[in-house]
Structure formats: C-alpha cells, structure tokens
Amino acid sequence: MSASNLASPPAVAPGGPASLRRHAWLFFALGLVSILVGLLAIGAPHVWTEKFVVVIGVLLLITGVTEVIHAVLVRSLPGFAMHLLSAALYLFVGVFVLEAPDRAAVVLTLVLAASFFVGGVLRIIFSRVERFPGWQWVLFNGLVDLFLGVLIWRGWPESSLWVIGLLVGIELIFHGWSWVILALTARAYVPARSA
C-alpha cells in the first residue's frame, strides 16, 4: 500500500550530492506524478478505495498462481510444501478481497493505519540521523504519516469505505512534494571548490 508501502527519497545517491544533482530531474518528475495521482485520489476517494482494494485482490491472485507454478517447477526440492501453503494463502486472501471488497477495505484500512504509523516513525528517525539536502521535508513527511496513521486508527472501521482513497491521496501529495523539494535542493547544489 503503500501501496508505499511508498519509499522515501534517498538520503545520498551512490555518487554523493553531485549524483543527486545529476538526477534531480528524475526526482522532480516522480514528485509531480505522485502529486497528480494524489489529487485524483482526493477528488474521488470512494472510487479510489474500491479500485485500490480490487487491485490488491488481483495482485494476490497473480502471486498465488505464480507460487503454484513455482512449487510445481521445484517439487523435487526442499520447501515444496511451503510453496504450496504460501500459494493457497495468497489465493484464499485474493478471493476474499475480490468477493467482499467492503470487508477487505475494513481490514486494509487497519493495515494502512499501521503502515502510515510505522513509515512515519521511520522517516522521522531517518531524517534526524542522516542530514541530507531537504531533510526537513522528509521529517515533515514523517510527521504527516504519523498523524495520518493515528487518524485512520481512531476513525476505524466507520470510515473504511472512503478513508483509503483520501489518505493515500494526501500521503501521495506530501510524498511527491518531498521529492520535488529534494530535486530543487539538489539542483541548486554547488560543490565546494577544493583549495
């Protein structure tokens, strides 16, 4: 789900700040796409909640079928039973999600709350430990995630039919904004001249 599970902007690219500057256009484009999708989700949260739940169900079914195929291909190796069990679990949950999207939305809403909460805490810690260009915005993004996690949890389960679309949209906007700020900060980076 995030979903993020959505990734935070990198602290420092492998080549350091100069590498961040070279790739600033990519961070900027990713940020704008994230902001656009977030605005669409906020505009129609009921629709996006339903679509998100259906996409999750389809992905679970695809994963289950893939696990069955993998289990058959490696049936002579250790772990065959584990692959079949895993496939059965994915298929069962995928069918549940697609047959009862409203009930699945209730469960996913609680999972989303936990995801925002944990993601927010990790972003806050990361931005405080690693100082990089635009770290303040990643800290702000972490605080927003933490707030959203608590907000979802407190309104659960009554608001589960619209909260996923709305809050994922808000998260995408702030996430995209942190990418845009990182790109602008990296673009303005001027390397210090060695004496």
Write the pLDDT tens digit of every residue in 120-164: 999 899 888 877 777 888 889 889 889 988 888 888 877 787 887
Confidence of residue 32 (pLDDT cuts 50, 70, 90): very high
Confidence of residue 23 (pLDDT cuts 50, 70, 90): confident
The helix, strand and coil proportions of the chain, stated in percent and rounded to the nearest 5, come to: 80, 0, 20
Share of the chain above pLDDT 70, in %: 86
Region 82-98: mean pLDDT is 87
Judge whether residue 4 has pLDDT over 50: no
Tell me the average pLDDT of the chain: 80
Distance CA 94, CA 106 (A): 15
Residue that has been written with the tokens 């679990």 in this structure: 89
Task: Report which DSSP code applies to 188.
Answer: T
Distance CA 165, CA 39 (A): 10
Read off the pTM: 0.54
Task: Report which DSSP code applies to 28.
Answer: H
Which pLDDT value is given to residue 15? 52
Write the pLDDT tens digit of every residue in 97-108: 899 888 888 888
Integer angstrom CA distances of residue 122 from 8, 105, 108, 125, 134: 10, 25, 21, 5, 16
Helix (H, G, I), strand (E, B) or coil at 91: helix
**Phi (first) and psi of residue 34, to 5 degrees:** -60, -45
DSSP codes of every residue in 136-162: HHHHHHHHHHHHHHHHHHHHTTTTHHH
Domain positions in the chain are 17-187
Q: Report the number of secondary-structure helices (H) and strands (E) in the chain.
A: 7, 0
Judge whether residue 6 has pLDDT over 80: no
